[in-house]
Amino acid sequence: MSTAHAIGLVTISRFGTLGVSLIGGVLLARSLDVPARGVLSVSITLVSLLASVGAAGLETAALRSAGGSDGATVLYTSIRRTAVVAGVCVPVALVLLAFQVPFAGLQPLEVAIAVATIPLVVLSQLLSNCLLGMRRYHIWTISTVGTVTAYVVGIAGLTIAGVTSLGPYLTAFTLGYVFSAIVLLGSLRGRAHRQSRDAAARLATSARRMTAITLLQMLFLRIHAPLVQALGSSGAAGLLAVATPLVDALLFLPVAAGLVLLPRYSAQNSAPARPLRDALRVSLITAFGALALGLIAPIVVPFLYGADYAEASTLVQLMLPGAIAFAFARVLQSHLLAVESYGTLVLGSLLAVILSVVAQLILSPHLGAPGAAIAIAVGYITMTVTFCVGYARRPQHA
Concatenating the DSSP letter of every residue in 154-174 gives: HHHHHHHTT--SHHHHHHHHH
Say if residues 250 and 11 touch (Cβ distance below 8 Å).
Answer: no
Q: Whole-model pTM?
A: 0.74
* Per-residue model confidence (pLDDT) at position 292: 93
| pLDDT tens, position by position, 106-143 | 888 989 999 999 999 999 999 998 898 888 888 988 99
**Mean of the per-residue pLDDT values for the chain?**
84
Residue 323 has pLDDT above 90, yes or no: yes
Distance CA 109, CA 90 (A): 13
Per-residue pLDDT, averaged over 88-95, amounts to 94
Beta strands in the chain (DSSP E): none
* Per-residue model confidence (pLDDT) at position 263: 79
Q: Which residues pair with 106 in a beta bridge?
A: 103
Residue 331 has pLDDT above 50, yes or no: yes
| pLDDT tens, position by position, 380-396 | 999 999 999 988 887 65
- Give the residue from 102, 99, 129 showing the smallest Cα distance to 114: 102
Give the residue, 323 or 238, on which the prediction is more confident: 323
Per-residue pLDDT, averaged over 218-229, amounts to 80
Under the banding of pLDDT at 50, 70 and 90, the label for residue 64 is confident
The residue type found at 116 is A
Say if residues 84 and 126 touch (Cβ distance below 8 Å).
Answer: no
Distance CA 178, CA 165 (A): 21
Per-residue pLDDT, averaged over 66-70, amounts to 72
* Per-residue model confidence (pLDDT) at position 325: 94
Q: Which residues pair with 103 in a beta bridge?
A: 106
* Per-residue model confidence (pLDDT) at position 347: 93
Per-residue pLDDT, averaged over 40-63, amounts to 83
Q: Which residues contact residue 70 at a Cβ distance below 8 angstroms, ignoring those fewer than 6 apart?
A: 195, 199, 202, 203
- Give the residue from 146, 133, 136, 132 showing the smallest Cα distance to 181: 146
For the ranges 1-15, 80-94, 239-253, which has the lowest average pLDDT? Answer: 1-15
Per-residue pLDDT, averaged over 222-228, amounts to 79
Distance CA 314, CA 307 (A): 13
CA-to-CA dists, residue 384 to 216, 347, 388, angstroms: 14, 11, 6
Under the banding of pLDDT at 50, 70 and 90, the label for residue 270 is very low
Residue 293 has pLDDT above 50, yes or no: yes
> SS3 of 106, please?
strand
> SS3 of 247, please?
helix
| pLDDT tens, position by position, 345-375 | 999 999 999 999 999 999 888 888 888 899 9
User: Quick one: what percent of the chain has pLDDT higher than 90?
Assistant: 32
Q: Which residues contact residue 216 at a Cβ distance below 8 angstroms, ignoring those fewer than 6 apart?
A: 346, 349, 350, 352, 353
Residue 296 has pLDDT above 50, yes or no: yes
Residue 17 has pLDDT above 80, yes or no: no
Per-residue pLDDT, averaged over 18-40, amounts to 77
**197-203-209-212 Cα dihedral, nearest 10 degrees:** -120
List for the chain the helix, strand, coil content (%; round to 5).
Answer: 85, 0, 15
- Give the residue from 311, 324, 45, 18 showing the smallest Cα distance to 170: 45
Residue 271 has pLDDT above 60, yes or no: no
Taken as a whole, the chain contains a residue count of: 398
Residue 273 has pLDDT above 70, yes or no: no
Distance CA 10, CA 34 (A): 32
The residue type found at 314 is T
* Per-residue model confidence (pLDDT) at position 391: 86
- Give the residue from 287, 379, 291, 281 showing the smallest Cα distance to 332: 281
Under the banding of pLDDT at 50, 70 and 90, the label for residue 195 is low
Per-residue pLDDT, averaged over 223-246, amounts to 78
Q: Which residues contact residue 153 at a Cβ distance below 8 angstroms, ignoring those fewer than 6 apart?
A: 172
Give the residue, 272 or 214, on which the prediction is more confident: 214
Q: How far apart are the first and last CA of the chain?
A: 25
CA-to-CA dists, residue 220 to 87, 169, 212, 342, 357, angstroms: 27, 26, 12, 17, 8
User: Quick one: what percent of the chain has pLDDT higher than 70?
Assistant: 91
Q: Which residues pair with 306 in a beta bridge?
A: none
- Give the residue from 23, 325, 38 showing the smallest Cα distance to 148: 23
> SS3 of 301, please?
helix
